[in-house]
Structures are given as structure tokens and as C-alpha cells.
Amino acid sequence: MKPQIIQAVLIVLIVVAGIVGYFVGQQVATPTVPGVEITRYMTITLRETLTLPGPTTTIVLTTPVTPPTTTPPQFVGTVKVGALLPLNLPIGTMMLAAIQLAIEEINAAGGVLNHKVELVPYDTQWSGDKAAEGYRKLAEDGVKVIFGVFGSHEALAIMDLLPLYEVLIIASGAVSDAIDAKVLENYEYYKYWFRAYVNATSQAAATWDLLAYLSRRFGWTKVAWIYEDLPWVIPHALYGQERSKKEGIEVVTAIGVPADITSFTDVFARVMASGAQYITWQFSGTEDYVYARDYFLGQVPLLAVGGGTYAMLNIFYNQTMGAAEGLICISWGFPAPITPRTMEFYEKYSKLLGTEPLFTTWYAYDSVYVWAEAVKKAGTFETDKVIKALETSTFVGTAGIYEFTRSHTAKLAPDRIYPIYFQWQQGRRVVVWPFRVVEQGTRLLLPKSVDGTRVWVEIPWP
């Protein structure tokens, strides 16, 4: 197909993507605060990004989970749990579906301490004020724990209510480092907050783990950074400034782009003029489509490693008519042997809802099991004892193994919570990092320019 035709098709796709919606995710995350933990544990490591869209209709689970036996569980009572989510956004309904699925499974297996778990959802409408209102209402309604809390602005609006109501939160997003700083600075006040996910600085650390490995492997010392010019990227910039010096890598150009960018032609021209040897990129909106289009049309001969909302989706390659070929993308949660529970959840969720679990959907599902197991370890629903169980235990989830730091966020480590990086190769998402989940015989595609045309050279990997 001629490049001109592909360009026309991709422009149409971008318009469609814009209609589908732009979900900012962690845009409102605040800058890194001194004293925040960087949870990075590895010799050779990885990872970064986030935000994601989903179906445009509300998801309601109606298919019952078959109990392991024919005898219905005998409950001694009911325990209420809450879900605080932006149900006006597809990501909110997707996370709610995952929470509902976990609760149905737990109830089918006998509940928690022989209590049936009853879910009470509340729609934050992506508003900090509504989130605070919802926390009060759920707490007054008697819930023992609240799941969800996707936006950092929502979480920050709730934090000062925690000591008043003493109801646990196990969030699945809200990556702002400012939240971690609060827990570290005033533990007794904010100890009720937990995040079954990583913070923004840990995301940046993971990305630089892979960039550093590529630098050592290929001798690259110059990287170009293309980023979405929004507040959530600030911790990535601050961390990258320090990590690049440590790794001996020069960020030769850093280019911020608006979320509604319509062309990367000039951006890629600046990158090539900078002398960069590879590229890293971070987006949370529909930029992915424009980026892939112009990466192809410009025949950019540099490996591009990064993350975006749409690039991680299993349908992205076809949506771009193959323009995504060679892009290395990050994914939090992925159909790979991360833990013994990963594929079971992936297949069940996909079959039930007709779409794969994405992004924080994995962590929303895991957060329910993390709480249930902590309650069982504590032998009680009493808040302080459940907190202690959360702080002193590890939990095997679908997205990895959870162990909480002093700031009550999940540790980033290859054997804990860690992202997957894959490369688009002829329509397939081929896992290339971390090495423990890379299949034997994997090949990495490296771009090379031959008479102005980009060709892909296969090399054994790792």
C-alpha cells in the first residue's frame, strides 16, 4: 500500500480515536516530593507509563461464577466493601467489572471469614469533590475497605478524611508521589492508604531500566525524549535527569507535545538532527496513532521505546494498518507467565467481557484478593490488624507479587510488580523485557536506513 494511502487511512483513524474519547489518566499527578521512596530493586530492570480507554458502555457482570462444589457456601454474615471509581469513564466501568469478578469468585469460594462480600459502588465522576463525598458516604455506610480510586486528584481530595473515618483504601491507580510523601511524613494520620500499583517515580525508574540496558547492549549514549506536555510527566523528567547521568546517557533533546498533536513530522526531524541513537516516548491520550503514523511515513531509523494509552492495546497494530511495526511498548499487566494466576484471569475476563483486561483493570482485580488475604491472615476485619497484615505479607496476584513499601505502595522489582515491554512484530506483541518472561527463540527488530528506506534487521534476543 502506498504511504499516501496509509496516511489518509490513519488520519481517519485518529479522528475516530478522538471521538472514542481521551482519558487523561494520571495527568494531575503532582511533582515528586522530597522524601518519596523510589521502589527499584534490580540489577537489570525495566518500565513506565499508563492511562487507558475502554468500551463506551457500562459493564455489568451477570454471568455467575460456578462454585468449586455443588454445595452453596454457608455464610455467617455479610461484610460491605466499597468501590470508588469514575464510572462516567470506560476505565471506571472496566475496573468495576474486575472488582465484581473478584468478589464473585471469593464469595463462591466461601467469602471472607465466612462472610459474604457485598459491593457498594460509588461514581466519582472523575471529580475530587465527588471522590471525597463518596468516601464519606461509603464510610458512613459501614464498608470495611474501598477499592479503585483511579485519579491522583481524587486520592488527594480524600487523604485528610482518612483519620476521621479510618476506612482502608486500596487504590489501583493514583500514582502521585505526593500521596506517598504524606504516608511517610505522618504515618498515623495516613496509614489507611495503600496502593496496589506503583507510584510515578517507580514508573520512571522502570522505563530507565530498559533504556539503560539498551545503552549497554548496543553502546548507545544519546537518547531523545518525546513526552506529553502534562503534569503527570514531571516525575519522569526529574528522575530521568538523575538516572541519565548515572548511566552515562545524554538526553540530547526533550520535546513536549500537546495531547491534541496532529503531526510528529517536525518532532522527528528535530530528533534526527539531535544525533539521538534511540527514542523514548510517553503519552496518555490519542497521540499514539499520530506517532505511529509519522514514525512509519518518516521512515525513522531509530528504535522507539516507550508507552502510551492505545499502543498497548491488542488491536493497535491493525488500527494503524501496520504502522506500529517495530515500536516497543510498555504494558502493566499482560498475557504472559507473570504468575500462576495471570493467564487464568486474562482468559476469564476476556471471555466474560469480550475485551482483554488492560492497565489498572489487573490491579483492581488483585486489590480485592490482597485485602481478602490480609483479613484472613489477621483473622479479623479490625482495621489496625488488617493494616499490619498488609504491611508484613506478600500477596501473589495476576500482575505480579505485591509487597508494600513504607509509603504503602507496591514495590517495583522483577520478582514483585513489574511491567512488560513488547515489540510490535507483524501484528504480534512479542515480549522483549524483562528477560524472565521472554520466550526462547525471540528476535528483536532493529531499524536501519538503506538509501532512505527503513528496514528491520532481526537479531537474537536476549
Query: Three-state DSSP class for 444?
Result: strand
Write the pLDDT tens digit of every residue in 266-290.
999 999 999 999 999 999 888 999 9
Same domain? 277 vs 422: yes
Same domain? 422 vs 398: no
pLDDT for the residue 72: 79
Same domain? 312 vs 399: no
> Alpha-carbon distance 90 to 88, whole Å?
7
Residue 66 in any domain: the answer is: no
Same domain? 378 vs 432: no
pLDDT for the residue 378: 98
Residue after which a domain boundary falls, among 403, 430, 451: 403
Same domain? 243 vs 378: no
pLDDT for the residue 307: 87
Length of the chain: 462
Q: Dig out the grid coordinates for 234 from the structure.
A: 514531571
pLDDT for the residue 441: 96
> Alpha-carbon distance 105 to 436, whole Å?
29
Same domain? 236 vs 349: no
Same domain? 283 vs 349: no
pLDDT for the residue 230: 86
> Alpha-carbon distance 52 to 310, whole Å?
7
For the entire predicted model, the pTM comes to 0.83
Q: Mean pLDDT check: name the lowest of 49-53, 90-94, 218-222, 304-308.
A: 49-53
Q: What is the CATH number of the domain that holds 205?
A: 3.40.50.2300
Backbone phi, psi, residue 83, to 5°: -130, 120
Residue 273 in any domain: the answer is: yes
**pLDDT band for position 232 (50/70/90)?**
confident
Residue 58 in any domain: the answer is: no
**pLDDT band for position 409 (50/70/90)?**
very high
pLDDT for the residue 70: 58
Query: Which letter does DSSP use for residue 183 in this model?
Result: H
Write the pLDDT tens digit of every residue in 63-86.
344 444 557 789 999 999 999 999
Q: Facing residues of 168 across strands?
A: 145
What sign does the dihedral 187-193-197-198 (CA atoms) show? negative
Higher pLDDT, 286 or 412: 412
> Alpha-carbon distance 359 to 167, whole Å?
25
Same domain? 437 vs 359: no
Task: State which residues form the domain around 153.
Answer: 77-197+337-403
Residue 71 in any domain: the answer is: no
Higher pLDDT, 48 or 388: 388
Same domain? 285 vs 423: yes
pLDDT at 36 over 60: no
Query: Which letter does DSSP use for residue 38 in this model?
Result: -
Residue 138 in any domain: the answer is: yes
**pLDDT band for position 9 (50/70/90)?**
very low
How many separate helices (H) and strands (E) can be counted in the chain? Answer: 15, 16
Same domain? 428 vs 309: yes
pLDDT at 51 over 80: no
pLDDT for the residue 308: 87
> Alpha-carbon distance 414 to 11, whole Å?
38
pLDDT at 162 over 80: yes
Q: What is the mean pLDDT of the chain?
A: 87
pLDDT for the residue 358: 85
Residue 54 in any domain: the answer is: no
pLDDT at 61 over 60: no
**Range 264-281 burial, b when 16+ CB lie within 10 A, else e:** beebbeebbebebbbbbb
Residue 413 in any domain: the answer is: no
Residue after which a domain boundary falls, among 403, 430, 446: 403
The answer to whether the CB of 164 falls within 8 A of the CB of 157 is no
Nearest one of 199, 203, 158 to 176, comparing CA atoms: 199
Q: How many domains does the chain have?
A: 2
Same domain? 399 vs 254: no
**pLDDT band for position 18 (50/70/90)?**
very low
> Alpha-carbon distance 392 to 372, whole Å?
15
> Alpha-carbon distance 376 to 42, whole Å?
31
Same domain? 318 vs 433: yes
pLDDT at 55 over 60: no
Residue 72 in any domain: the answer is: no
pLDDT for the residue 32: 33
pLDDT for the residue 285: 82
Query: Which letter does DSSP use for residue 248 in this model?
Result: T
Residues whose CB falls within 8 Å of the CB of residue 183, separated by 6 or more in sequence, listed in order: 190, 191, 193, 406, 407, 408
Higher pLDDT, 175 or 69: 175
